[in-house]
Amino acid sequence: MRIGELSRRTQIPIRMLRYYEERGLLTPQRAPSGYRHYQEADVEQATLVSSLVRSGLPTRLILPLLHDLQPNPVDGDETDDGDDDLVALFAAEFARLDSQVKCLSLSRNAVQQHLRRLRATRVSHDPTAT
């Protein structure tokens, strides 16, 4: 599929799909015209990448992550050959994620509670309930 369809299906702006490619997180094939052509699997991968980015993972860390998760989609160079800096980076990132998961759960609950309170005030029309 082409970029427009992928964008529609993933809800990710075209601009971002191109950006992910620039970062090496998505590697569509190119038609002779220059048009990008995506595989079905890219729907999932794009969604994953987008989630990771929104979770605050820097794209440079997402790349090696993808290598671990799926041993093919990113055409492997030697990006993840255990170098010490990476280990440190990921250790830090892991700690961050770990605390963030807890923190986000807390936030989630707080938001939910806040939402309930807001709706209790503005009762009546919007049935977008939990």
Which residues make up the interface to a second copy (CB under 8 A)? 48, 51-52, 54-57, 61, 64-65, 67-69, 80-84, 86-87, 90-91, 93-94, 96-101, 103-108, 110-115, 117-122, 126, 128, 130
Residues 1-40 that bind DNA (CB under 7 A): 2-5, 7, 13-16, 18-19, 23, 31-36
Q: Are 46 and 17 contacting, i.e. CB atoms less than 8 angstroms apart? A: yes
In the complex, what is the shortest distance from the CB of residue 33 to a second copy, in angstroms, rounded to a whole number? 35
Integer Cα distance of 60 and 70 in angstroms: 16
Q: How many CA atoms lie within 13 A of 39 on its CB side?
A: 11
Select from 55-63, 79-87, 93-101, 111-119 the region that touches DNA (CB under 7 A): 55-63
In the complex, what is the shortest distance from the CB of residue 124 to a second copy, in angstroms, rounded to a whole number? 11
Is 8 or 105 the residue whose CB approaches a second copy more closely?
A: 105
Residues ≥6 apart with Cβ < 8 Å to 67: 74, 76, 79, 80
User: Using N-to-C axis directions, what is the helix angle for 3-10 and 14-22, rounded to 10°?
Assistant: 110
